[in-house]
């Protein structure tokens, strides 16, 4: 550790987690995992369970059963067939053949035991992958454009920059003790696939004329985040050349490390520091650390595609295309992932990409091979042409595995989307996001319609229910969705959502998006219909 933990000078302002991290760096747990693999689950101390996150490992629900979830970092979602086969093998051998793609382009396993984790570490390392610092109070998986390097719309290929940033922070003890989790996004695609506004630090495409020459670079967003108190990031008045991206990332992360709040854990994300400081003060501090930067240039972000790339599309490389596949609520089997790897090698160059929409792309396919690929059996389920609501359904892990979740989400979201596909037609994409708790791993705040799990007391006992939120969006006029009053029992959710979607379909203007519709009519008409439905259901 080459820095001084200045926050330790005022111990009365530290929460209990901070004392734990001062005594033992989170990265120290990695070697302990090997020891615990020998001594067994019962030998793991409570404090070390908390630190397991730095190894990318969480206890799975129920904790006493001795199983773990592991998250594997896939920077910007770029994955080789060899790596995919390794992930599939781990799932087959240790994870009951289950693989989840997350909203940060990572891959998650379940059902792991402590005895097997060292072998998993070794298998990942052999193909250049890691679970280290996929969780914990540290820089996590870097999200970005899954099409980096093949994208006809990108200003520059961000693959080298993502790798440089990842290499800079991974296992770097200068930044392994941050006040809270820390999320970075980088993309040069003009449709914001990296969800810049909800990341702690995001680089988005921009240009600026410097010394008479137009330079391609980035604008910088800082202080975004979701959970119970969501904040949209603020843009700093700086323009960052590609060669300065790593320097700026280090500067912003240093500010968070040294100035971020460590007194109350629920008030420790960078978003709270930005809310108090504002972008001007934050810029001043950044300039102190990294030196002068040019002021903002021309922002090249022109929309938001929500991270969706399903279908067949031409790449910037002549004669090649990519095929975006829908993975319903991000869940597939290890066998399916292995088959995807095979298809990527047979029809392309062995290149796969994971998306923060929980989907997967097969890249670099010669156009003459597209037709044959589309006939493959696997593409019947993981289809490039998904049904409408299934195509835009996202879900967190839910209480099947997560200790924080209050309700089941994965299967419920899949069933809700399938129900809507059977009962209503809509030509407008409608993004549905479901989460099992306020932490919002399923990013419900940015959905057209978001669902947050809760429990309600009924005459028959406690039952699963959901709060409903409408009108979320990133990009131009970004805003978080708004809550409707009245919790809906899980058993009634399909019927209620169908009526709300039907209301939108009947009352919208021609070509009007759901977001624009909610902005035009407000939430009151939705509330009126929800009240009427709940009254009928409770009669």
31 burial type by CB count under 10 A (0-12 exposed, 13-18 middle, 19+ buried): exposed
Q: What are the backbone angles phi and psi of residue 311, rounded to the nearest 5°? A: 105, 180
Give the C-alpha separation, 144 to 158, whole Å: 8
> 485 with 468: CB under 8 angstroms?
no
Catalytic residue among 442, 471, 472, 475: 442
Tokens of 34: 């090997």
Catalytic residue among 21, 53, 61, 71: 71
Angle, alpha carbons 360-364-367 (nearest 5°): 110
436 is catalytic: yes
Helices in 260-299 by DSSP H: which ranges?
270-290
303 is catalytic: no
Catalytic residue among 181, 183, 208, 262: 181
Tokens of 502: 């039907």
180 is catalytic: yes
Query: Cα(first)–Cα(last) distance of the chain, in Å?
Result: 64
Question: Residue 483 forms beta bridges with which residues?
Answer: 469
- Sequence-distant (6+) residues with CB within 8 A of 191 are 153, 301, 302, 303, 304, 305, 475
DSSP letter for each residue of 188-231: --TT-TT-GGGSSEEEEEEEEEETTEEEEEEEEEE--B-TTS-B
Catalytic residue among 180, 208, 412, 487: 180
3-class DSSP state for residue 353? strand
* Positive/negative CA dihedral, 409, 410, 411, 414: positive
225 is catalytic: no
Catalytic residue among 225, 297, 436, 471: 436
Give the C-alpha separation, 382 to 385, whole Å: 9
Residue among 154, 205, 75, 192 at smallest CA distance from 315: 154
The residues assigned a catalytic role are 71, 180-181, 436, 441-442
């Amino acid at each position: 550790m080459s820095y001084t933990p200045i926050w330790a000078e005022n111990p009365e302002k530290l929460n209990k987690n901070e004392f734990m991290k001062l005594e033992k760096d989170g990265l120290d747990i990695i070697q302990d995992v090997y020891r615990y693999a020998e001594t067994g689950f019962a030998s793991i101390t409570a404090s070390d369970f908390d630190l397991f996150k730095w190894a990318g490992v969480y206890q799975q629900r129920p904790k006493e059963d001795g199983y773990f979830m592991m998250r594997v970092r896939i920077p910007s979602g770029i994955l080789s067939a060899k790596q995919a086969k390794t992930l599939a093998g781990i799932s087959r051998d240790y994870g009951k053949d289950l693989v989840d793609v997350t909203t940060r382009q990572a891959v998650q396993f379940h059902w792991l035991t402590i005895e097997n984790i060292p072998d998993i570490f070794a298998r990942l390392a052999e193909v250049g992958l890691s679970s280290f610092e996929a969780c914990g109070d540290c820089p996590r998986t870097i999200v970005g454009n899954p099409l980096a390097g093949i994208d006809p719309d990108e200003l520059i290929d961000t693959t080298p920059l993502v790798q440089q940033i990842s290499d800079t922070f991974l296992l770097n003890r200068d930044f392994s003790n941050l006040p809270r989790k820390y999320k970075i996004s980088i993309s040069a695609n003009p449709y914001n696939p990296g969800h810049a506004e909800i990341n702690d630090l995001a680089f988005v495409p921009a240009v600026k004329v410097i010394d008479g020459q137009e330079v391609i670079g980035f604008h910088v967003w800082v202080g975004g985040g979701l959970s119970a108190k969501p904040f949209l990031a603020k843009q700093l008045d700086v323009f960052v050349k590609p060669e300065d991206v790593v320097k700026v990332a280090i500067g912003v992360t240093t500010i968070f490390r040294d100035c971020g709040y460590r007194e109350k854990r629920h008030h420790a994300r960078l978003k709270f520091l930005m809310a108090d400081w504002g972008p001007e003060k934050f810029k001043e501090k950044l300039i102190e650390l990294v030196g002068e930067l040019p002021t903002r240039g021309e922002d090249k972000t022109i929309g938001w595609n929500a991270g969706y790339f399903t279908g067949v599309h031409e790449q910037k490389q002549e004669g090649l295309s990519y095929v975006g596949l829908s993975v319903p609520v991000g869940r597939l089997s290890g066998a399916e992932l292995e088959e995807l790897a095979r298809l990527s090698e047979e029809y392309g160059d062995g290149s796969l990409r994971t998306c923060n929409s929980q989907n997967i792309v097969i890249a670099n396919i010669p156009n003459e091979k597209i037709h044959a690929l589309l006939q493959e059996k696997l593409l019947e389920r993981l289809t490039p042409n998904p049904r409408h609501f299934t195509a835009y359904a996202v879900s967190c892990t839910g209480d099947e595995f997560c200790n924080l979740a209050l309700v089941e989400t994965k299967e419920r979201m899949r069933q809700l989307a399938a129900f809507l596909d059977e009962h209503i037609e809509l030509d407008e994409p409608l993004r549905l996001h479901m989460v099992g708790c306020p932490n919002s791993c399923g990013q419900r705040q940015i959905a057209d319609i978001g669902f947050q799990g809760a429990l309600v007391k009924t005459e028959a006992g406690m039952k699963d229910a959901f709060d409903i939120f409408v009108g979320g969006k990133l990009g131009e006029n970004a805003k978080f969705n708004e809550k409707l009053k009245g919790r809906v029992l899980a058993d009634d959710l399909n019927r209620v959502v169908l009526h709300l979607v039907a209301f939108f379909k009947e009352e919208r203007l021609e070509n009007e998006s759901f977001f624009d519709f909610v902005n035009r009519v407000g939430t009151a008409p939705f509330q009126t219909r929800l009240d009427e439905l709940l009254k009928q259901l409770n009669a």
